[in-house]
Copies of this chain bind each other. A is one copy, B any other.
Amino acid sequence: MKFCSECGGPVSQAIPEGDDRLRHVCRQCGYIHYQNPKVVAGCIPEWEGRILLCRRAIEPRHGYWTLPAGYMENGETTTACAARETLEEACAQVEIGPLFSFLNIPHISQIYLIYCGKLLEKQYAPGYESLEVRLFDFSDIPWNELAFPAIRKTLELYRQDRANHRLRVHSGDILKREGRPGDPHFRITSQEISGTD
* Chain A contacts to B: CB under 8 angstroms: 1-8, 11, 18, 21, 33-39, 71-80, 98-99, 102, 104, 106-107, 109, 111, 128, 169, 171, 173, 189-197
| CB<8 Å pairs between A and B, sample of 14 | A2-B6, A2-B8, A3-B5, A5-B11, A5-B33, A34-B71, A36-B71, A36-B74, A74-B109, A75-B106, A76-B106, A77-B106, A191-B196, A192-B196
Assess whether A3 is in contact with B7, with CB atoms less than 8 Å apart.
yes
Query: A21-B73, A39-B111, A99-B171 given. 14 additional CB < 8 A pairs?
Result: A3-B5, A3-B6, A5-B5, A36-B39, A36-B74, A37-B39, A37-B76, A39-B39, A75-B107, A75-B109, A78-B111, A192-B195, A193-B193, A193-B194
